[in-house]
Amino acid sequence: MAALIIGMALVTYALRAIPFWLPLAGRSPRARRFFDLLPFAVLGALIVPGVFQATEPPAAGVAGAAAAAGLAWRGRPLIVVVLGAVAVTAAVSASF
Amino acid sequence: MKPGSPFGTDVRRGALDGVSIALGYLPVALAYGLLAKGVGLSLWATMGMSMAVYAGASQFLALTLLGEGAGTGSIVLLTLLLNARMTLMSAAIARRFSDRRGPMRALAAFGVTDETFAVLTLKQAALTPAYLLPLEFVPYAAWVGGSAAGYVVGDGLPASLKAGMGVALYALFIGLVVPAVRASRTASIATGLSMMLSALISRGIGKGSAIVLTALLVAGGMAAFGPQDDRAELTTSEEEAS
């Protein structure tokens, strides 16, 4: 078990640490643009399809996600967006 | 340190943003602790894995494979594949992390996750250690503490609350993306493309690879072929309410 944990930890930390020591990409405009776009390219993939599988039935999670989108659209702070979505999802989930 | 964001303000903002992430980690960590006990891990191994690996999806994968009798080598190899996306995320954070000191960079690298990456790259332009470290290590404490709690006391949350907390991480991602999408057409196109592509790709391959492939195709494609003159609209505004 110790070997497994150490192996997993080393592999994962190496993946995280390498870019902090070896800059993988240059400072060209294209590289900058790639890294500016990266958060959106990653977040889209983190939200879909996961959000449709987050709760059973999916409707509760989708309602929570819609609440989050509405709160964020109105410029509410992140913590309010998260707590609002949790409350809406819990309420919808409890009503099933 | 840039003017207008003294040390204390950065720490406070970082900790507060960290709490948003920690809230989402708690139910996942509880479930992990409970499952680890079910698979037969000791409390020490359960917590040790959370403390040393700190990567939820691969920890669940390890438990599942241990339950099926898989060997150490194959679990470590799958961990490498599943967590390869961390390198992409670390690269984005590293180029904006202002501190050059070795130990500081080593610490900052340890706390990179999907969620800390999302907040760090979208909320604040200049990444000081005073903002980054609390943001990364508040969720870490929740992850380790939650793992232990799940193991020891089990997952005693009512089902509806658990469902609610299960959506917290998605709410976090949505809360980060919506203001940018609202302000920038380029951000909307990138997010929309990524959602569509991910929906297609994730049917065929595993979660980690689907995220890497989608991100590379969308960001790479748009950086290579998109217009080059709209960089200004993508840079994050310096902090809305927090």
Encode pLDDT of B95-151 as tens digits: 899 899 999 999 999 999 999 999 999 987 789 999 999 999 999 999 999 999 999
Say yes or no for a CB contact (<8 Å) between B72 and A7. Answer: yes
- In this structure, are A13 and A28 located in the same domain? yes
Confidence of residue A75 (pLDDT cuts 50, 70, 90): very high
Q: Of B45-54, B72-81, B158-167, give the lowest mean pLDDT range.
A: B158-167
Q: Interface pTM (ipTM) of the complex?
A: 0.94
More confident residue, B241 or B125: B125
Which DSSP state fits B2? -
- In this structure, are A39 and A60 located in the same domain? no
- In this structure, are A42 and A68 located in the same domain? no
- In this structure, are A58 and A96 located in the same domain? yes
- In this structure, are A55 and A20 located in the same domain? no
- In this structure, are A56 and A90 located in the same domain? yes
Size of interface A-B (CB pairs under 8 A): 306
Q: Which residue in B106, B220, B241 is closest to A34 by CB distance?
A: B220
Say yes or no for a CB contact (<8 Å) between B106 and A8. Answer: no
Is residue B168 a contact partner of residue B24, using CB atoms and an 8 Å limit? yes
Q: Provide the domain count of chain A.
A: 2
Last residue of a domain, one of A31, A47, A63: A47
Chain B from 33 to 72: CB within 8 A of any A CB: 41-42, 45, 48-49, 52-55, 58-59, 62, 66, 72
C-alpha–C-alpha distance, residues B201 and B207, integer Å: 9
Residues B196-212 have a mean pLDDT of: 89
pLDDT of residue B241: 33
pLDDT of residue B131: 95
Report whether pLDDT(A82) > 80: yes
Average pLDDT, chain B: 89
- In this structure, are A41 and A83 located in the same domain? no
Smallest CA–CA distance from B83 into chain A, residue: A12
- In this structure, are A96 and A73 located in the same domain? yes
Percent of chain A with pLDDT over 90: 79
C-alpha–C-alpha distance, residues B180 and A69, integer Å: 12
- In this structure, are A29 and A64 located in the same domain? no
Domain enclosing residue A61, as ranges:
51-96
Last residue of a domain, one of A47, A63, A79: A47
Q: First vs last Cα of chain A: how many Å apart?
A: 41
- In this structure, are A43 and A65 located in the same domain? no
C-alpha–C-alpha distance, residues B79 and B207, integer Å: 12
Say yes or no for a CB contact (<8 Å) between A45 and B202. Answer: yes
Encode pLDDT of A6-34 as tens digits: 999 999 999 999 999 987 666 788 888 99
- In this structure, are A30 and A62 located in the same domain? no
Listed residue (B17, B190, B56, B66) closest to A77, CA to CA: B17
C-alpha–C-alpha distance, residues B118 and B175, integer Å: 10
C-alpha–C-alpha distance, residues B125 and B82, integer Å: 28
Q: Which residues of chain A neighbour B216 with C-beta distances below 8 Å?
A: 41
- In this structure, are A3 and A42 located in the same domain? yes
Q: Which residues of chain B neighbour A19 with C-beta distances below 8 Å?
A: 87, 90-91, 93-94, 109
Encode pLDDT of B73-107 as tens digits: 999 999 999 999 999 999 999 989 989 999 999 99
C-alpha–C-alpha distance, residues B14 and A89, integer Å: 26
Task: Name the token pair of A11.
Answer: 């592999």
Q: How far is CA B56 from CA A40, B80, B83, B115, B197, in A?
A: 21, 13, 10, 11, 24
Minimum distance, in Å, between the CA of residue A28 and any CA atom of chain B: 11
Q: Which residues of chain B neighbour A62 with C-beta distances below 8 Å?
A: none
